[in-house]
Structure 1
């Protein structure tokens, strides 16, 4: 009897799977533009940015984000070829080329066939091309537009691809492995930065020199003098006036790329994702504002060329499982509490905690450290938490004390699954502080990783209406291609047949 029931269940599962595949095989119309091509194409990618990040930022700043004012608003699915929850490499490849691929692959199909990005297509049309990112310029998202490697960690090969791209402007973060120290490539051609220079690129790292750049200076690769972590720009809340911001890189790129043949510019807000991985709400909010200010630079340009410009804004995936609401605050939100945080988790981890450990050599108690937490995060340890959301609750105080002990011992990696899920591989005390602050503000985190929720895509300008609706991230590439005057190579994936539609 048990065997027959199992057989029946197996047959039922098989039937459901067949039904699902049949449903997927139905023809899907992809709305594309069929009018006069645009001369100027902007693509902004907020890494890790979905609706929760955008909504929290608007609640914090008290006004609408520029990207949310665009006339065309859509929702976009993000899954990879081999996993429901995507990664930046697979997602960026889909957005850049219209090709679903496996986790970690860049500019390639799952069978490792190279695919052209919209940036490379723009280059072949005689347009100038620019790539800007707040993380290293060879990181997954920017690299998807000019490189073709089976593994995103092949930073040396990606750096070499910059020299071979023929693109006109690279700006933001630096290079992660120009000398192939990680031995991720078997095709060493010499120092990648030397190759980039030999390809005619002017290398700029100082702000004064950067500001003085003019279009006649030719091809440029520029990064900020201070690269905080992973060859990336500092978090917005940590930068000083001497640092070059993402909006400044965007504005300079526009200035350098503007020409009679038009241009394509991709700008990534990469540290939105990094802050969400670390569950730091204040850091991602400030970086989202910085990203939106970069979009405003494109809008300023579009106002001068309204019939020739398309601006598209999207995210590659959500990160952190951010929830706009926390059980402990019920229906209350206190986003103003986040304004008490003065530094990002990264700066606190890299500078404040090491200094404290060095000066106190494990002799200081958590109570001794409380004023430091209050100074940098505004969290208070005296008062009534029911009247003041900045005051820690009893259970939160215990969490902080436990984390403090682990941090003072230098613990960051845990074999215990519970502790690993609690701290996510980050400094225990720092991530516990941001959790307490964010929770009391009315925000919750469910993950230290990406999630599979759809992201928002918005557009303004030529062909913008084709970005309305609900579609997959590969369709973003198709839509941009059509606005560029290129017939999209629309194909079948996972049983879904895609065909062009007005």
Structure 2
């Protein structure tokens, strides 16, 4: 593919002019200028040429809820501990990027914002209220145009939007929709079809049938010229030139989203596969913009499920690696950004009872997410009034947590439960059989602090294995913590330092020269 370069002659003409205003005091502009080191001069020219390149291929990865603790816990989990107890963290695909910035995430109404407002800030450069997608705050009557829409309309870039949660969820919607409330799910789906963007992939629409009086969101997309693909085999069969495409993941889990990475079956497509397919379908001489959201990092952290969060961060790292491999083929034209919309859960590495130690390898005993445990086991416990001790056999098999009375207790190691932990689990189990989950208004303050609005038994299990691993959370919601942005490729240097999340849009707009 032809690279985006300016000619040597054009460069030299600019060099002469720039020298006149002091921009290039040592630029090789004069025909008779001394050239003591041709290689150094060539290096200097190549460096300066880079100042005038713009990214033709832009990858924006958003780890929803992914603060620094979420990243660091994944690095520690993937790291090693030698026989002497020395620990070594592992790199993720993006943590070695040459430029790292820190970003504030507050919105017009809260220092602990939601995904609609923060994704709006990233996509448009404007602050708005929590719950609002690409509309001005307070009156909500002026729409904001997104960087994806501008690149599509002004520059002819193809555009792709991927999410591991619902394709009409707040973060992906913020790149193509404009709604007074993020809950206008059917209308968001209609905007998806009207966007004309070339590639969408992710979980199912949340209100696919709307009010039932008109075509469903799949039909609306098909009427707008989209290939609507709902099987993995159908997605795999797509090739370049397929035209506008909407892929709904075949294997759906909680909330009609994709499975958590740790719950995915062997061979089941995950975020990486949809990124690779997006590259295949979007690649073209004019360029593309591909936004990929790892949305279930956020969902895991809402539920204080540290292991599920870690596995989804690792899967997002794999997806970023697919972009890195593309960049290696197009080094002069590609920009990769990895960031978050906000932090979720108030995740902390360190817990009261583990003092200065952590035992993140304990999380390897967890075989499934809280959500899969709910659907696979807890619903049956509720229906059958299963005895606590019988349920704890499933807990041992799937989380490693072992009762002191269990025959395997002597081999349980750090996952052997204390009497205090057993009582906490028993109390949560009894509440689960009696009332299940509940809304905050229907719970005591104590119960909400213990379980949030989730199944009490599953939350007690997650909290117990987290604490034994040396991890904890402060909330079931979002926090106001800053998040990182990692940048690699053309224009990456613009994303270093400390700045507000609205600047991500402005820096991209400046690099691509959109109006």
TM over 0.5: yes
TM (norm. structure 1) is 0.86
> 1:396: Cα distance to partner?
1.2
Q: Which moved more, 1:237-246 or 1:203-212?
A: 237-246
CA RMSD in angstroms comes to 1.7
Taking the TM superposition and a 5 Å limit, the aligned residue runs for 1:139-218 are 139-181=169-211, 190-218=215-243
> 1:34: Cα distance to partner?
6.6
CA distance in 2, matches of 1:451, 1:35: 39
Report what 2:44 is aligned to. none
CA distance in 2, matches of 1:240, 1:88: 28
Give the one of 45, 52, 55 matched to 2:69.
52
Give the one of 132, 157, 164 matched to 1:134.
164
Which one has more relative contact order, counting CA pairs under 8 Å at least 6 apart?
1
Q: Which moved more, 1:126-135 or 1:412-421?
A: 412-421
Report what 2:35 is aligned to. none
Paired residue secondary structure (1:225): coil
Contact 1:385 1:392 in 2 (8 A): no
Report what 1:476 is aligned to. 504
Paired residue secondary structure (2:200): strand
Paired residue secondary structure (1:42): strand
Report what 1:122 is aligned to. 151
Deviation track 1:285-334 (CA, whole Å, cap 9, x = no partner) reads 11111111110010000001111011111001111111110001111111
Q: Which moved more, 1:404-413 or 1:129-138?
A: 404-413
Contact 2:349 2:472 in 1 (8 A): yes
TM (norm. structure 2) is 0.84
Contact 2:402 2:412 in 1 (8 A): no
Report what 2:127 is aligned to. 100
CA distance in 2, matches of 1:471, 1:406: 45
Report what 1:496 is aligned to. none
Paired residue secondary structure (1:130): strand
CA distance in 1, matches of 2:57, 2:492: 13
Give the one of 464, 468, 483 matched to 2:492.
464
CA distance in 2, matches of 1:147, 1:305: 31
> 1:191: Cα distance to partner?
2.7
> 1:385: Cα distance to partner?
10
Report what 2:477 is aligned to. 449
Deviation track 1:119-154 (CA, whole Å, cap 9, x = no partner) reads 101111111000000000000000000000010000
Report what 1:428 is aligned to. 456
Report what 1:355 is aligned to. 380
Paired residue secondary structure (2:487): strand
Contact 2:151 2:514 in 1 (8 A): no
Taking the TM superposition and a 5 Å limit, the aligned residue runs for 1:351-500 are 351-358=376-383, 361-362=384-385, 364-382=386-404, 388-413=413-438, 414-486=442-514
Report what 1:5 is aligned to. none
Gaps of 5+ in 1: 1-32, 488-502
Contact 2:403 2:409 in 1 (8 A): no
Deviation track 1:210-231 (CA, whole Å, cap 9, x = no partner) reads 1111111111000211210222
> 1:36: Cα distance to partner?
2.3
CA distance in 2, matches of 1:379, 1:422: 18
Contact 2:160 2:291 in 1 (8 A): yes
Deviation track 1:100-131 (CA, whole Å, cap 9, x = no partner) reads 00010101121421111111011111110000
Contact 2:57 2:289 in 1 (8 A): yes
Gaps of 5+ in 2: 1-49, 80-89
Contact 1:385 1:393 in 2 (8 A): no
1:86 and 2:113 aligned: yes
CA distance in 1, matches of 2:225, 2:330: 30
> 1:393: Cα distance to partner?
2.0
CA distance in 2, matches of 1:419, 1:331: 29
Paired residue secondary structure (1:41): strand
CA distance in 1, matches of 2:245, 2:410: 53
Contact 1:73 1:468 in 2 (8 A): yes
CA distance in 2, matches of 1:241, 1:384: 32
Between structure 1 and structure 2, the one with the greater Rg is 2
Deviation track 1:455-474 (CA, whole Å, cap 9, x = no partner) reads 01110001101100000000
Report what 1:494 is aligned to. none
Give the one of 232, 237, 244 matched to 1:219.
244
Paired residue secondary structure (1:109): coil
Q: Which moved more, 1:392-401 or 1:450-459?
A: 392-401
